[in-house]
Amino acid sequence: MEPGRAGEAGPEAQRSDVVATLAWLAVAALLRFAALGRFSLWGDEVYSLDNSFELFTPAMKAADLAFPLFFLLERGVLELRDLAGGGPADPAQLQLLMRLVPAIAGSMAAAAAFRCSRGFLARGERHVLAALVAFSPWFLFFSQTARFYAPLLALSVPATFELLRAQRDGRVRSAVEGTLWLVLAIATQPTAVLLLVGHLAACFAAAALRIRPLTKAIVPPLLLPVLLALPAAIWPEAVRDTLGYKLRAQDAGVEGLAGLVLGIGWNVGPVVAALAALGLPTLWRRDRTVALHVIVGAGVPTALLLVLAALHKSVEQRYLIGVVVLALLPAAAYVGELAQRLDGVVRGARLAVPLLAVGAWIPGLLSEPIDGNRHDLAGALRYVTERLQPGDGVVCDYHALARRYLPAELPDALLLEAPPPSGTSDAGRWKVMAASCPRLWIVLPAEFAEASDEHRAFQRWAWGEGRLQREFWRPRLDYHQNRIRVFLVEPKRAARWVPGRADGR
């Protein structure tokens, strides 16, 4: 009999399960709420901020309808603090408020990993799975980032295990519950569809290999594409502006196949990935249906993204977050079983083995409180604000987000995206700024050197024509260092920068 299928159904076991679930919720929350609002807003968090403010207003874009649940939750938090109008607000307050939903969701994901895996893993193995979710630096980062990936993870956990239970046991009720969880996940972030793709592929693969025949439990998830087609037909712009954009995009942010593979390996962790591979025979020995479901359910979405990356489409590792917990199942089974076997030989092995399994994540975990794995935009712009003189202009990456940190007295006409865009009205604004501003403050992340030719050239221009005033950087314990630089350029003494040209000339 497989671990977890019996012996945990009594009242004592159920009470123990509730206590353990709450304990993992507390552990994960402690990690996620520590320093939650300390770090600057950065990157795509600006879109969450703007889209939450624009929800249910004429400014709302069709693409926002692809993520209604996340933006609805974020808008609800803003409404509670009377900030939904989108006017001036303390950016430090926004840093905390906008991350509350992801932090709560990330904490719930760890608790759900323990609770929902009952019936598939032994109790000790369920603790290992919860630990893998709670202590993953990747999941921790998204739990402290105002984006939809932590809520996606939290909703994908019960969806994963209910659909897996439906496949293994042929339970229609589990299929309905899993499908409903999946609908919520898709309404949070459309990449949750990859979980559906993997599930259906696993069901048909099991039937084709005569491991598990198709049952009525296949019907609810099979009907889900029909259900999703209805809102897609009503709001085709949302599909065009989200999925369509990703399939058409050919930009400098595209990582390529090698970058995607390295990114997946780094974020999952080579040690944990190796443990997952070693655990597949363990799952296969216990239950071939579950093992095949893990292989196909996680493998098909991963293969799909790799193919898209090979075609230079704009796909990233985080799109797989919805299927990662499924992929972690064999790692939890292997670590738990190994710990149990060594427990009689090595004292304390039941605790030591799981600790060693997550040990490779320690540098990342210790680094998160250092800088939140993001650039100190707030610090850089505080430095600029203290030195701004009348007529000075600011050219900054994520200038819409920079607006929140710069003084209201700075005219919008003197704030521009870096590098200055070409082919838009902003190109004209750049000409005016370059001609009229006595000084230009250039705020750039050091990683621009790894971006497009134009981005690299603009940073070289800032280095050559201006002076580096300060580099904001808190050294991390892992390879990922986040530097942001502040340059000062006097346009009248500098060579002209021409937007739209790779060399800026």
- pLDDT of the chain, 505 residues: tens digit per residue: 445 554 456 788 888 999 999 999 999 999 999 989 999 999 889 889 888 888 878 888 777 777 889 999 999 998 888 777 666 678 888 999 999 999 999 999 999 999 999 999 999 999 999 999 999 999 999 999 999 999 999 999 999 999 999 999 999 999 999 999 999 999 999 999 999 999 999 999 999 999 999 999 999 999 999 888 887 777 677 666 666 655 565 554 456 788 888 888 888 989 999 999 999 999 999 999 999 999 999 999 999 999 988 888 878 899 999 999 999 999 999 999 999 889 878 888 888 999 999 988 999 999 999 999 999 999 999 999 999 999 999 999 888 899 999 999 999 999 999 888 876 667 788 889 999 999 999 999 987 545 667 888 898 999 999 999 999 999 998 878 899 999 999 999 999 888 766 555 6
Residue 393 placed within a domain = yes
Q: Are residues 25 and 91 in the same domain?
A: yes
pLDDT recorded at residue 2: 47
Q: Are residues 447 and 390 in the same domain?
A: yes
Tokens of 109: 């994901």
**CA–CA separation, 483 and 473 (whole Å):** 5
Tokens of 393: 């202009």
Query: How many Å separate Cα 77 from the centre of its chain?
Result: 20
pLDDT recorded at residue 214: 95
- C-beta separation of 157 from 177 below 8 A: no
Q: Are residues 417 and 352 in the same domain?
A: no
Query: What are phi and psi for residue 227, nearest 5 degrees?
Result: -65, -40
Q: Are residues 367 and 381 in the same domain?
A: no
**CA–CA separation, 386 and 461 (whole Å):** 24
Question: Among 371, 394, 429, where does a domain finish?
Answer: 371
**CA–CA separation, 453 and 248 (whole Å):** 21
Q: Are residues 359 and 419 in the same domain?
A: no
Residue 502 placed within a domain = no
Residue 145 placed within a domain = yes
Q: Are residues 47 and 122 in the same domain?
A: yes
Residue 499 placed within a domain = no
- C-beta separation of 206 from 289 below 8 A: yes
* Counted domains in the chain: 2
CA terminus-to-terminus distance, the chain: 72
- C-beta separation of 482 from 445 below 8 A: yes
Domain of residue 200, residue span: 11-371
- C-beta separation of 452 from 464 below 8 A: no
Q: Are residues 187 and 64 in the same domain?
A: yes
Q: Are residues 182 and 303 in the same domain?
A: yes
Q: Are residues 351 and 204 in the same domain?
A: yes
Query: How many Å separate Cα 379 from the centre of its chain?
Result: 24
How large is the C-alpha radius of gyration of the chain? 25
Q: How far is CA 452 from CA 397, 447, 449, 493, 504, in A?
A: 14, 10, 8, 26, 12
Q: Are residues 330 and 432 in the same domain?
A: no
